[in-house]
Amino acid sequence: MRIIVDRAKCSSIGMCEAVAPDVFEIGADGALTVLTEEVGEDRRAEMVQACQDCPTQALSLEG
């Protein structure tokens, strides 16, 4: 699956990074980077958690 970031909504709060630091990173410039283009199916629960935890609903999954 792929992670879609709505840049207009993302406020770089970093809750996603708390769930999966190897997938999400808030950089020194305050912008969110998704470190892994494709995330394996075995981590779906974790990615759903990251989307749900996002206070601004900026994350969604594709595929």
Partner 1 sequence: MTTAIPREARPYDDADISSLRFWSATAEQREEVFAELRAERPVSWHRPVHNGLFEDPNDQGFWAVVRHADVIEVTRRPADFVSGQGVVFESMPQELLDAGQGFIAMDPPRHTKVRRLLTAAFTPRQMARIDDHITGNAKRIVDDIADKGEVDFVRDVSALVPMHNICDMIGCPDEYRQTIAHEAQFAGGWRDPKLMQGAEPMTRLLQAAATVRVIADELIAERRRNPSDDLLSALVTAEVDGERLTDDEIASFFNLLMIAGNDTTRQSTSHGMKALSDFADQRAWLVEDLPGRLPGAVEEIVRWATPIMTFRRTAAHDCELGGQQITEGDKVVMFYASANWDTEVFDHPERLDLSRSPNPHLSFGGGGIHHCLGNQLARRQLVATFRELLTRLPDIEVDGEPTYGTGNFFHAVLSMTVRFTPRR
List contacts with partner 1 (CB under 8 A). 11-15, 17-18, 21, 25-31, 54-57
Shortest distance (Å) from residue 63 CB to partner 1: 25
SS (H, E, C) the chain: CEEEECCCCCCCCCHHHHHCCCCEEECCCCCEEECCCECCHHHHHHHHHHHHHCCCCCEEEEC
- Supply the minimum distance, in Å, between the C-beta of residue 3 and partner 1: 17
Question: Shortest gap between Cβ of 32 and partner 1 (angstroms)?
Answer: 9
Nearer to partner 1, 16 or 39 (CB): 16
